[in-house]
Structure 1
Amino acid sequence: MTSVPTISVIISTYNSEEWLRKVLYGFNQQTFRGFEVVIADDGSGPKTKELIQQMGSEVFFRMVHIWQEDDGFQKSRILNKAVRACKADYIIMTDGDCIPRQDFVAVHYLNSAPGYFISGGYYMLPMHISKLIGKEDIEKQNCFNIHWLKSHGIPKKFKNSKLTVKGRVSKIFNSLTPTNASWNGHNSSGWKSDILKVNGFDERMQYGGQDRELGERLLNSGIRAKQLRYSAVCVHLDHKRGYKTMHSIAKNKAIRKVVRTSRCTWTPYGIAK
C-alpha cells in the first residue's frame, strides 16, 4: 500500500467496542485494499483506544484514531475533524455498527465519479444475530449469506434481496427503488473537495438527519447522487439509541427545511468557523 491511500474510510463510534471490532474485521476482508481507516470517536472511554491499538496488529490497513471529549451526541463535530484528517481525495463514511461486505470499498471505488456522491444501503439485523456473528462468520461472509441468516431466524421478506441480488440485477434494483439517493451516515461516499466546498457537517445538528442535511447541501451545490443501495452493502448491527430525542429531531428538521427552501450550499457551523 502506498503512503497516500486512494480512499479514506471514516468509521464513527462511541463506546461500542464489541460492534467496532466486528466492523474492523469486515474491512480486513475487503478485496480492494488501497484505503486507510479514520475512526471518528465521539468521546468513548479508554476501552475503545485499547481495542484500536490491539486491532492494529490484526488488520492490514492503517488506522487513525480521532477522538474528542464526551459532550453528548456530537457526531457532526467529530466527523468534521475526521474529514480534515483524511489523506485520500475520496472518502467513504460508515458507522461502527455496520459490517461491510467484502466488495464494499471496491463498489464505492469503481462507482466514484467527478460531480457525484454515492448513497449506499444497509440490511438491519436483530440483536440475537448481531451478537452471534463472530470473526469466522465475517471471514466466511456468513453474515451476508441469506441461507445462514435464515437458519438463525431471519424471516422471508423483500428486503432480503439486498443480500441476494448481484451484478446487473442489483443495478436494476438500484434504478427501480423508490428510496431517495440521500447521504446516509451508515453508507455513503464522496470527494473530500466537495465536502469541504459545502463546509462539512452542520455542528448545530445532533441526532436525526444531520447526515442527510450534508447531502442536501451537496445537491444544492450541483453534485448529483448515485443510488447504490443494492450494490454497496453492509449489515447493520442492532443497538439502543438513548441519544435520540424529539428536541434534536425537531431542531434538525427546521434546519433542513431552511436548507431546502433557501437552496443554500454552505453552513457557517461546519469545518471552517
Structure 2
Amino acid sequence: MKASVIMSTYNSEEWLEKVIWGFSVQTELDFEIIIADDGSGPKTKELLDKMRAEISMPLQHVWQEDNGFQKTQILNKAIIASKSDYLIFTDGDCIPRKDFVETHLHFRESGYFLSGGYFKLPMNISQAISKNDIISQKCFDIKWLVGMGLPSKNKLKLTASGFLAKFLNFITPTKASWNGHNASTWKSELLYVNGFNQEMQYGGEDRELGERLFNKGLKSKQIRYSAICVHLDHARGYVNEEMWKKNASIRENTRKNKVVKTLTGINSN
C-alpha cells in the first residue's frame, strides 16, 4: 500500500463515520485506515465492524483501555500496526477532501514531513453534513456552506487551487509544524525518533514530535492550502492547565537540548 492513514478517536461515532466516508471516496485508494482508539466503548467497534463491509480499503482498529487522555500512546501503537512505509495522520473529527491522500503522496519527499491545516465548521453545519454531502463533496463547496449559515469570510483554504494554493503555501506566516490533524512523513523517521512522547497528554504533544524531527535534521513542507479537511465542532473536556504546563516544560527541554529520541515512546509498547 502507498500509505497508512492513522486517525485518533474517542467515543465519537457520529463524527468518525463521517470522516471514514470522506476517506472512502478518495482519488487515491491504495491505502489502509488505522483507527487509533483511546478507550472508546463498544459502539465504536460496532461502527467499524459495519463499515468494513461498506468501504474498499483495509480498516484496522487499534484500541486501548480508557485511562484518561493517552493519545500519544495509542498513536504509537498505531504506528507499530501500520503496514505502509508512509504514514498520514489526521483526527476522527476531520473530513478529508477527496484529493487529501493523493496530495500527501504527491508532496512527500525524503528528508521532509508535510504540514497541513483544517477549516473549522460550526456545530450546526457539523451536525447537518450527511453521507451524501460527503460523497458529493458538497461539504467543501463554499456556496453550499454559506447557504448552511457559514460566515462569509476566510474561505481561501477551501477555494484556492493550482498556482494560488502553492503561492499561499509559500507566503503564509503559519509555521509548517507537525499538526496531528493533517501531517505525514515516512514511518522510518517516526521509528527513529521513537514516536510520540507518552509522558505528554493534551497540549502541544504533536508539535513536540515535529520538534524532534527537526532536531534529527528533517525539514517541513507547508501544504496548508493543498491538503484540505474540514473540522467538525466538539467540546474539549480533556483540557487542563496542569497538562499544558507539563507539556510546555517537555517541549522547552526538547528544543533546548536538541532531543531527537524520546525515552518514553514506541519502545514503551
1:105 CA displacement = 0.1
Name the CA distance, whole Å, in 1 between partners of 2:265 and 2:170.
32
Deviation of 1:263 after TM superposition, in Å, equals: 1.0
What's the RMSD between the two structures over aligned residues? 0.5
Which of 155, 159, 167 is residue 162 of structure 2 equivalent to? 167
Q: Percent identity?
A: 57
Per-residue CA distance 1:17-37 (angstroms, 9 max, x = gap): 000000000001100011000
| Distance in 1 (alpha carbons) for counterparts of 2:195 and 2:18 | 28
Structure 1: runs of 5+ lacking an equivalent? none
For the pair 1:258 / 2:253, whether they are aligned, the reply is yes
Structure 1 residue matching 2:145: 3-state secondary structure: helix
For 1:6 and 1:39, locate their aligned partners in 2 and report how far apart those are by CA, in whole Å. 17
In structure 2, distance between residues paired with 1:253 and 1:143:
36
Distance 2:225 2:242 in 1: 33
CA drift of 1:186 comes to 0.4
Moved over 3 A (4+): none
TM superposition score normalised by structure 1: 0.97
- Aligned residue among 138, 144, 147 for 1:148: 144
- Number of the residue aligned with 2:195: 200
Verify: 1:132 aligned to 2:102, yes or no.
no
Between the two proteins, the alignment pairs up a number of residues equal to 268
In structure 2, the gaps of 5 or more residues are none
Asked whether 1:221 is paired with 2:216, we answer yes
Query: Is residue 49 of structure 2 the alignment partner of residue 47 of structure 1?
Result: no
Matching of residue 69 in structure 1 with residue 69 in structure 2? no
Mapping of 1:79-94 within 5 angstroms? 79-94=75-90
Q: Distance in 2 between matches of 1:52 and 1:167?
A: 35
- Deviation, 1:57, is 0.8
State the SS of the aligned residue for 1:272: helix
Deviation of the 1:16 alpha carbon:
0.2
Q: Secondary structure at the match of 1:105?
A: helix
1:40-92 deviations in whole A, cap 9, x for unaligned? 00000000000000001111110010000000000000000000000000000
What is the match of residue 182 of structure 2? Answer: 187
* Structure 1 residue 107 displacement after superposition: 0.1
Pair 1:249-2:249 in alignment: no
Residue equivalent to 1:211: 206
Paired residue for 2:32?
A: 36
The residue number in structure 1 matching 2:4 is: 8
Distance (whole Å) between structure 2 residues aligned to residue 246 and residue 130 of structure 1: 28
The corresponding residue for 1:24 is 20
